[in-house]
Amino acid sequence: MLEGLSQDYQLTIPAILKRADELYGEREIVTRRPDKTFHRYTYADFVSRTKKLTVALKGLGVESGDRVVTLAWNTYQHLEAYFGVPCSGGVVHTLNPRLHEDDLAYIVNHAEDKVMMVDEPLLPVFEKFRENSETIEHVIVFNYGDEPVPDGMISYEELLEGADENDFEYPEFDERQAAALCYTSGTTGRPKGALYSHRGVVLHSMMSAMGNAFSLSDNDVVLPVVPMFHVNAWGIPYTATLTGSKQVLPGQHLDPASLIEDYEQEKVTFTAGVPTVFLAMLQTLDQEPGKHDLSALHSMVIGGAAAPKGVIKAYKERHGIEVIHAWGMTEMDPIGSVAHVTPEIKALPEEEQLEYKAKQGYPTPFVEVRARGDEGFVPWDGETMGELEVRGPSIIKSYFNTEEGDDKFSEGGWFRTGDIVTIDKYGFIKITDRDKDLVKSGGEWISSVELENALMAHPAVAQAAVIAIPHEKWDERPLAVIVLKEGESVTADDLREHLESDFAKFWLPDAYEFVEEIPQTATGKFLKMKLREQFQDYTLA
């Protein structure tokens, strides 16, 4: 091989920070504080504080590869952690406060998190699993006012005050070093870690910023509604910092009224989140015609669950907002495809264009896709279904610290997504079904298997199967189908009470149906497909 003479410049998160440091100093970052007032500062402030955080973390003993976990909303402090932790050589691990405390403790222990950074309003969530977290040595509180932090915890503001920015040096890492860690609950079994490298994060940021994906530049004002604990807010904090966009971080205020106010006041051009949020917002906008000026907002990315065609159309027709449908997975960091309207599609009649906009989109650069059917890979004819497999530089090659899930990776390094799709001649993917036995409610996963096991532990229950029922507000909600033991009786309320203490509230089934039998395979597995058919017209109250 004749080796090329391009430099081996390492693609790292510190390199993104350095660019912001040198070029974007005057741009703004705006955050909604817990009390709803706005905190404003510039990229220059952000960089300066991030440098201090890096110095402080090293002072606390954070070394290369150490995990620093965050439990926080979308805020400037969280953004500082997104950069400061990887700059210290550590791995920034984001924790989803909506999970049950047993899962949170499991994840922290599995990740062996050394330092916890917790948002003041989320302290009660942390208290629920603090005692069961075995590896945490320091707890830092992202504090806002003058209230002292609880005993034994460190005030973030005091920590930064005590650090000298001049002690910061831009580190030179191998780009393959670990930078960020997210656990997915969208799998069977225990939550599993997706550990991204610096290189993976940087390349993901670049491909997300491109014109045929999110199309971001320094002219944009970016507001991620998707929480920074959901696959790094789809990478947007890194992408927007790379492009030098103004950033607006909504904190914990994700209700339509607050978001609409943010959009108007800050002249937001780009926003992204799950369908649930934007469905609620559509209702508010429809109820208040002409009241809001969202003319700056050119892109609303909806992903994490299917964006309904009617919603895409309604935003465009009634509010002039372009919905861009996107698909991805935690294992992909997460963006995999974006339904950007290509020149070929633009040439089609409106109604046909809408069909494409409602698909999950075509792959972002360097994401390769193929779909495997019963008889090998399916043709890209938009009709034949198969399980979607992907590979690319921001997709994980195995889960962190476990062999569980190894069967998800097929030969040649492809990752099996568990999504059943068609792919058409333009490479547009359409999800038709899901192989995973899970319910996705408002962007959060619910494991049907875990609910079934808990239900079957009830003395009156012989069999229980949980299936997803389409739901207007939450996309999907769980329905429990129950066969009782002979001579036993139990009510839906009894079963709900039985589950309540072990699961997060949003996991509890919306309804319980009592039946004579649940269809099964010859090997005694529930035939969920059949059951879904049986309940296809079921409506939840």
Taking the complex as a whole, the smallest distance from the CB of residue 364 to ligand AMP amounts, in Å, to 13
Q: Concatenated DSSP letters for 231-243?
A: HHHHTHHHHHHHH
3-state helix, strand, coil in the chain (%, to 5): 35, 25, 40
361: left (phi over 0), alpha (psi -120 to 50) or beta: left
Question: Which residue's CB is nearer to ligand AMP, number 14 or number 304?
Answer: 304
| SS3 per residue for 282-299 | HHHHHHCCCCCCCCCCCE
**192-197: strand order across its sheet:** 154-155, 138-142, 113-119, 67-71, 91-94, 178-184, 192-197
CB of 481 to ligand AMP, least distance (A): 22
Residue 531 main-chain phi, psi, to 5 deg? -65, -40
Q: Closest approach of Cβ 245 to ligand AMP, in Å?
A: 23
Residue 153 or 213: which CB sits closer to ligand AMP? 213
Give the nearer residue to ligand AMP in terms of CB position, either 177 or 330: 330
Residue closer to ligand AMP by CB (options 327, 512) is 327
CA distance 45 to 247: 13
CB 467 within 8 A of CB 531: yes
Q: Are strands 67-71 and 91-94 parallel, antiparallel or unpaired?
A: parallel
452: left (phi over 0), alpha (psi -120 to 50) or beta: alpha
Is residue 316 flagged as an active site residue?
A: no
Measured from the CB atom, is 165 or 437 closer to ligand AMP? 437
Query: Nearer to ligand AMP by C-beta: 67 or 325?
Result: 325
DSSP type of residue 60 = T
Q: Are strands 335-338 and 322-328 parallel, antiparallel or unpaired?
A: antiparallel
Taking each helix axis from N to C end, the angle separating 43-59 and 76-87, rounded to the nearest 10 degrees, works out to: 50
CB of 280 to ligand AMP, least distance (A): 18
Q: How far is the CB of 182 from ligand AMP (least distance, A)?
A: 8
CB 126 to ligand AMP: min, Å: 22
CB of 145 to ligand AMP, least distance (A): 34
Host H or E run for residue 259: helix 256-266
Structure tokens given for 467 = 């299936």
Closer to ligand AMP by CB, 206 or 231: give it: 231
Report which secondary-structure segment, H or E, holds 415. strand 414-423
Nearer to ligand AMP among residue 123 and residue 195 (C-beta): 195
Task: Please tell me the number of Cα atoms within 13 Å of 484 on its side-chain side.
Answer: 14
Q: Please tell me which residue in 239, 440, 444, 474 is annotated as part of the active site.
A: 440
Question: Catalytic annotation on 402?
Answer: no
Q: Which of 363, 367, 385 is nearest to 376 (CA)?
A: 385
Cβ closest to ligand AMP, residue 66 vs residue 389: 389
**Parallel, antiparallel or unpaired: strands 67-71 and 113-119:** parallel
Question: Which residues of the shown chain bind ligand AMP in the complex (CB under 6 A)?
Answer: 184, 186, 231, 303-306, 325, 327-330, 334, 360, 417, 419, 431, 434, 445
Active-site residue, selected from the candidate residues 380, 445, 474, 507: 445
What does DSSP say about strands 409-410 and 414-423: parallel, antiparallel, or unpaired? antiparallel
Q: Output the smallest distance, CB 325 to ligand AMP, in A.
A: 6
Strands 154-155 and 138-142: parallel
Q: Which residue's CB atom is positioned nearest to ligand AMP?
A: 330
Phi, psi dihedral angles at 215 (to 5 degrees) = 55, 60
Annotated active-site residue 445? The verdict is yes
Q: How far apart, in Å, are the Cα atoms of 515 and each of 404, 464, 481, 483, 518?
A: 34, 10, 7, 5, 7
In the set 184, 187, 364, 422, the catalytic residue is 184
Shortest Cβ distance from residue 264 to ligand AMP (Å)?
27
Q: Give the single-character DSSP code of 84.
A: H
Residue among 144, 98, 148, 150 at smallest CA distance from 123: 150
Q: How far is the CB of 183 from ligand AMP (least distance, A)?
A: 10
Determine which one of 175, 266, 331, 444 is catalytic.
331
86 phi and psi angles, rounded to 5 deg: -60, -30
Tokens of 532: 């879904």
Whichever of 288 and 435 has its CB closer to ligand AMP, that residue is 435
Rounded to an integer, what distance in angstroms lies between the CA atom of residue 188 and that of residue 526?
16
CB 429 within 8 A of CB 388: yes
Active site residues: 184, 331, 440, 445
